[in-house]
Structure 1
Amino acid sequence: MVKQHVESAINGKIRCDACPVMCYIADGRSGACDRYANVAGELIRVDPLTVIEATLSDGGKVVPFMADSQGEWDGDIVHSARHFVTAVGAGTTYPDYKPAPFIVSQKQDGVDMVTVVTEGIFSYCGAKVKIDTDRFLGPESAAVRVDGEQIGHVMTGEYGSQMLSLGGVHHLTGGSKKEGRVTCDALLQLCNRQAVEMTIDGGASLIVKAGTAPIINGVEEQRMRVGCGSATIGMFAKQWLGHVDEVVVVDDHITGVLSEHQAGKLLDVQPTGIKIKGRRSTPGRYFQVAEPGTGWGGTNISDPLSIIGDFDQKTAYPGLRMLMVSTTGEQFGYYVLDENLVPILQSTLPAPLQQSVDIIAENCEPALASVLFMGGAGGSLRAGVTTNPVRLTRSVKDALTHVSCGGAPAYVWPGGGITVMADVMDMPSNSFGYVPTPALVAPIEFTMRLADYQALGGHMEAIVPIEEALGLAERKLAPVADRAWPTDGRNFRWGA
C-alpha cells in the first residue's frame, strides 16, 4: 500500500488532501472515494500499485550471450527486469504543486528513461462507446439516460456500428447533483468493464459492457453487419450467378439490388424489372427504403416485400427467382414470381443460396461493445510532472514523451492540450476510481528520456530507481498481447 502525504490531522482524524473534497478520515475508515484510508494514523492508498512485467512469451527478448545494457549476462533467459510501473494504485498529485507520486528511472535498451506516474482527477472526461449493430438505437443526438438522468447522447453512426458519447464536464458538473452522481457512477462502471443499463430517448433500451455483446431491448446481439447492402452485393455477386435472377440486400443505409448494381452489370446479370421503394442513388443503390428500426437490416420492416413495388411487366417474367437477405444473414427469403408477377415465398432455400447466406453470416464479426476512456490532462495534472506544464504538452506533441493509461497505449488527439483516449480492455482491471466532486480518477503515465525530462523542467529531485517502486508494488500483470511495450523506442522520436 502506498502512503500519501498528510497535510493535517484533527481529533484523531486525518485530513486527506488527495482531492478537493478534503475528507477527514477516522482511524480504520476510508474516505468518500474508498481510495484512501486511515490506518493507525497513516493515510494509505487502498488499491495496490500495479506493475506490468514482461516474460518471453509476452514478447520479451532473449538476452544475448554477451554483455548487454545491464551488464554481463547472468544466465537469465529473459529480461526479468523488464517492468513498467503503471499509475494504477499510485495515488494523485492533488493539490498539484507537488511532484507525481512516482517518478521512476530505469534503463531501456541502454537509454536512461523516466516514467512519471499519477492518478489524474478527470472532471473533463467521458467515454466513447462503439456498439457493433445495425439495430436502431435512437435518433442522432438523442439523450442517453441512466436512472432517468441524461449522461450523454447518440453520435453519428459509423460503418456497422452505433456510437454513443457519454459523460463530459457538462453532465458531471453542469447539471443537478443527481445528474453528476449518476454520470460519474455510470462512467466508472463502464470504464471498469462492468455492465450499465441505459435507455435512449425515442429509441432502445440496452445493456452495455465493454468486451461483450450488447443487449438491445432484452435481446443479445450476435453479429455486426458484413457491410451495407451495396457492399454485400459487390462482395458476393459471383456466388449468386446462375443460381438466382435477382438479389436484394436490405439495409437501413444503402439497400443493394444485384441486377442494377455495377457488379451485376459486369457479370451480365439481366434486368428483372424490379422496382424498389426509396430514394435511388447510383445504380443498384437505394437510400431510405424504410424507417430505421430493429428489423431487417436495421430497418423497421418485418416483411421485405414491403419495400418492393410492382415488377415491370415488360421486363419481368413468371418463374423469376429472387433472394432477399439482410446485411447480417439473419433474415432471408427466397421468392419466385407467379403468372401475375407476384413474388411467392418458397418453403425451401436452394443449397447454393443457403451457402451464400451462410457465408454472409460467417463474414459478420461478432457483435461487441467497446468503451474508450477519454480525458483531458489539464494544467494541474501536468504540474505533477514538470514545473513548466506547457513544456510537457509540447514534448507530447513532438513525440518525445509517450503517453499511456495503465500501461495501455493512449491516442493523443491533435490540437491544443493533452486529450487522450484509451481502450479500457487494454488496461488492468479496476483501473478507475472516482472522487465525489464528481470526477473519475484514471491512471496516466508519461515516459521519456531522462535528458528530455530534465529539459522540460521535471522534478529531478523526486526521481527514484525502479527497484524502489517495485518494492511497493502489490499487483503484477503480464502485458496485453500484441501491444507495444510502453517504453519501446518505437514510441518515441529520438531527438538530438
Structure 2
Amino acid sequence: MNSPAQPAAKPEKIRCDACPVMCFVAEGRTGACDRYANEGGKIVRCDPITVLDRRLEAGGEIRPFLKDDWDGSVLAGDDLFVSAVGAGTTYPDFKPAPFIVSREVEGVDTVTVVTEAIYSYCGVKVKIDTDRHLGHEGAKVRAKGEVVGLVITSEYGSQMLSLGGVDHLTGGSKSEGRVTCDTLMALCNREAVELEIEDGATVVVQAGQPPIVDGKREERMRVGCGSATIGMFAGHWQGLVDEVVVVDDHITGVVSEHQAGKVIGWPDTGIRINGRRSTPGRYFQVAEPGLGWGGTDIEDPLSILGEWRAAKGATEGMTLLMVSTTGEHAAAYRLDAELRPQPVPLSPDLQETVDLIAENCEPALCTVMFTGGAGGSLRSGVTRNPVRLTRAVQGRRATVTVGGAECFVWPGGGITLMADVTQMPAQSFGYVPTPALVAPLEFTMPRADYVALGGHEGAIRALSDVLENGGEYGAEWRALPREAGRRAQPARGADATPDPKHRP
C-alpha cells in the first residue's frame, strides 16, 4: 500500500537586514518596502544600480556593463559616476557602504562612497510660483486628511511650504506617519500630490510642473510686486493713460505718486487708494489675500479706490488702467462728470503694455527640494570615525551628492543638505515602513583624504571591478545621462530596456 504523498516543503523565508523592520521574505517575494526581494535564497535590490554616464549626453552608445559583454577598454573615471540609486543600504550602519568606488578624475585618485540612506530627519521645502493666496503663514497643510507640514514665509512671487520632518513621521499617530512618508516619497519622485491648506486653498503640487490651485492651473509667476511693476513699465504707459494702478496683495503701486512716475514727470491725478500708505505710490493691505486680482480677494478692482479729488488734479475724462502683477487681470476706465470711473474698452496700445507684463512673467512651476540630515549613523558606512566625515564635508574636502545631483549643505553642525529632486534619476526615492524615507547619497573626495579620515580602506574597489561584479545586493545596472533627471532612459546591458522597477 502506497503511503500518502507528503506535501512539498515550503521554501524557507529569509530575513532581510536592509532596514530596522527586518522582514522575513519568501522566495520570489519582496519585503514591506518593495525594494528588496528574496531571489534564490539571497536578498537582492529590486532596482538596478544606476550609473551616470557623460557620454550619453553627447549621444554616445549605452555602455555594456554586463560582465560577459564588457572588455574594460572604454572606461574613463571622469565619464562615469556610480550613484546610490539602487545600490543598497549601510544598515545596520557599522558595515562599509555598499560601494566604495575608486576612479581617476582629472589625474586624481578619487573615492566615491555610495549608499541609500534611511532618513527619519527629512522633509521637503516646496516653492509654489503663484501670487494667489494659498494660506496664512503657519497654517497646517494636510494630505489625505493628515497634517504633514505647514505654510512658511512667502518669497518673491512664490508661496512656500515646509512638509515632513521627524515630528510628523514618528511623533504623531501611525496614520500621520504613514501619510507623511507617502507624501514625501511621491513629491520627491516627481509625482503629483494634492494638499489642503487650513482655511486656504487646495493645491496640486508636482515638481517641475505648474501648480493647480483650487482646480485652476497656474500659468505665470508675477513679474514683481505692484511697486516693482511700475518701476519697470512706467515709461511704457506714459502718454497712453492718465493713471495706472497695479493691484497686488503685498504692495499695490500707483504710477502718478510713485518715484518712477515723478522722475518722468507724471502729473498728479487726485486718485485715492483704500489701503495703508507706505511710501509715495506704494500701499499695503488694500484688500484681504485671496485668489482674485493680484493675490487679493477682490473681483472688482474699483473696490480699492476712494473718491477722486478734484483739488489734487482729478478731472472729467481722465483715463485709468488697473492691472495685476501677472497681466492676467486688466481693465480700463474713464472718469465721468462726477469723477467716478466708468469701464471703457482696453485700447490696443494699453493691451500691448498688459501683454508686456505677461511676457516678463516666468512660467509658474513647483519646486521640491529634498531636505535631510545626513549626520547620523550612516556616516559609519563611510568611516570608522564619523565626525571626521562631517568635518570633511564642512571643510569642503568632501563633496555630497544625492543621486548624482549637487547639494547645498547648510553651514553649522552636522550634514544638513538640500537638493532639487528634478536633477535626480526618476524614482530615486523609496521608503521603509518604520516609517522613513530612503534617499541616494554619495560622498566624493580624494583617496588620500578618505584614508586620512578613517575610511574603510579595505572596502575600496576599482570602478572596473564594481561594474564587472556588482555588489552585495546584486549586479544589475542601468546607464543614464549625467544630467540624471532630464533625459533618463533606463537600460540594462547593451541592448535591453526593461522596466526600471524591475522585479526578480
- Give the alignment's TM-score, normalised by structure 2: 0.89
1:321 paired residue number: 319
Which of 233, 252, 270 is the aligned partner of 1:255? 252
Which of 436, 439, 450 is the aligned partner of 2:436? 439
1:462 paired residue number: 459
CA distance in 1, matches of 2:341, 2:178: 56
CA distance in 1, matches of 2:399, 2:138: 34
1:338 paired residue number: 336
| Alignment check: 8 A CA contact 1:240 1:353 kept | yes
1:478 paired residue number: 481
1:93 paired residue number: 90
Is 1:424 matched up with 2:406?
no
Q: How far is 1:219 from its partner? A: 0.7
CA distance in 2, matches of 1:421, 1:58: 28
CA distance in 2, matches of 1:153, 1:298: 19
**SS of the residue 2:194 aligns to:** strand
1:271 paired residue number: 268
**SS of the residue 1:162 aligns to:** strand
Amino acid across the alignment from 1:178: S
| Alignment check: 8 A CA contact 1:142 1:154 kept | yes
Q: How does 1:162-177 map to 2 (within 5 A)?
A: 162-177=159-174
CA distance in 1, matches of 2:190, 2:485: 20
Amino acid across the alignment from 1:479: R
2:292 paired residue number: 295
Q: How far is 1:54 from its partner? A: 0.3
Is 1:374 matched up with 2:371?
yes
Which of 124, 128, 141 is the aligned partner of 1:127? 124
Q: How far is 1:350 from its partner? A: 1.5
1:45 paired residue number: 45
Q: How does 1:388-399 map to 2 (within 5 A)?
A: 388-399=385-396
Is 1:155 matched up with 2:158?
no
Q: How does 1:8-407 map to 2 (within 5 A)?
A: 12-55=12-55, 57-58=57-58, 82-314=79-311, 315-346=313-344, 348-407=345-404
**SS of the residue 1:155 aligns to:** strand
CA distance in 1, matches of 2:438, 2:405: 16
Amino acid across the alignment from 1:357: V
Relative contact order, higher structure (CA 8 A, sep 6+): 2
Output the aligned Cα RMSD.
Answer: 1.9
Show CA shifts across 1:417-461 (max 9, x none). Answer: 000110000000000000000000000100000000000000000
Distance 1:242 1:482, change over 3 A: farther
* Identity score, percent: 65
| Alignment check: 8 A CA contact 2:77 2:463 kept | no
Q: How far is 1:473 from its partner? A: 4.9
Show CA shifts across 1:388-438 (max 9, x none). Answer: 000000000111000000000011011110001100000000000000000
Show CA shifts across 1:371-402 (max 9, x none). Answer: 01010013211000000000000000111000
Show CA shifts across 1:248-304 (max 9, x none). Answer: 000000000000000000000000000001100011000000000000000000000
Q: How far is 1:200 from its partner? A: 0.5
2:64 paired residue number: none
CA distance in 2, matches of 1:287, 1:470: 61
CA distance in 2, matches of 1:75, 1:445: 26
2:490 paired residue number: none
Amino acid across the alignment from 1:415: G
Q: How far is 1:480 from its partner? A: 1.7
CA distance in 2, matches of 1:383, 1:122: 15
CA distance in 2, matches of 1:221, 1:28: 45
Q: How far is 1:469 from its partner? A: 2.1
**SS of the residue 2:203 aligns to:** strand
Q: How far is 1:80 from its partner? A: 8.5
**SS of the residue 2:279 aligns to:** coil
CA distance in 2, matches of 1:473, 1:25: 20
**SS of the residue 2:310 aligns to:** coil
**SS of the residue 1:297 aligns to:** helix
| Alignment check: 8 A CA contact 1:55 1:80 kept | no
| Alignment check: 8 A CA contact 1:250 1:327 kept | yes
| Alignment check: 8 A CA contact 2:403 2:425 kept | yes
Q: How far is 1:351 from its partner? A: 1.6
1:488 paired residue number: none
Amino acid across the alignment from 1:476: A
Residue correspondences, number:
459
CA distance in 2, matches of 1:199, 1:24: 37
Q: How far is 1:24 from its partner? A: 0.7
Q: How far is 1:468 from its partner? A: 2.1
**SS of the residue 2:235 aligns to:** helix
**SS of the residue 1:156 aligns to:** strand
CA distance in 2, matches of 1:482, 1:230: 37
CA distance in 2, matches of 1:326, 1:220: 17
CA distance in 1, matches of 2:260, 2:32: 62
Distance 1:175 1:116, change over 3 A: same
| Alignment check: 8 A CA contact 2:87 2:114 kept | yes
1:7 paired residue number: none
| Alignment check: 8 A CA contact 1:54 1:79 kept | no
**SS of the residue 1:194 aligns to:** coil
